[in-house]
Amino acid sequence: MGLLLLVVLLVAMVDVPLQMFLHKTRLKMSHQEVKQEHKESDGNPQLKGKQRERQRKISQGNSISAVPKADFVLMNPTHFAVAIRYDDKTMRAPQVVSKGADLLAFKIRDIAKHHAIPVLQSPMLARALYANAELDKDIPASLYTAVAQVLAYIYRLKAAMRGDGPMPEEPPQPFVPAELDPLSKVVANTAKP
């Protein structure tokens, strides 16, 4: 009887951990089951991607149609364009009416040129406004001075075009705080050891 109990105990010592392991592996979901559950809980990723693309096209269309209302467009020559509008009678601060990157930036520039809206090259200010300003909202207060310098230049330029004053000199290179320029953040992060 003792020998029989010893054999049963040895078999139980091996079988119980083995059965627990097998039970746990059967409870685990396969990779396909995990993907399917994720798809069901969050929605189909392809469908969500198509919705985001449609929303992006709609917002870009609205953004592009607002370019003719802008007073001027700031560009980083190859990547960013920001169209700004300011009416001192109705606005507290200048507002970004359109912004875009890459191909959309070139489209904004082309529309601005077609509507005789001044296009200025100011890479740091264009990047800072693109990264920190929302469409149809006041620009960040920390960029007021920089945008005011550009606005003053634009007003002098428009007056000279009407024949009301001399042609202004070189466009201003306004100061932009480094923390607002996304490129300086990238450079600072890569320079750290």
Per residue in 164-178, pLDDT tens?
878 888 877 888 877
Rounded percentage of the chain residues whose pLDDT exceeds 90 = 12
- Using CA atoms, how far residue 128 sits from 95, 123, 160, 175, in Å, is 14, 9, 29, 11
In this prediction, residues 109-129 reach a mean pLDDT of 88
Model pTM greater than 0.95? Answer: no
Average pLDDT over all residues of the chain = 83
Q: How far apart (Å, rounded) are the C-alpha atoms in residues 88 and 95?
A: 11
Using only C-alpha atoms, the chain has a radius of gyration, in whole angstroms, of: 31
pLDDT grade for 5, boundaries at 50, 70 and 90: very high
Pairing of strands 72-76, 119-121: parallel
| Cβ pair 86, 97 in contact under 8 A | no
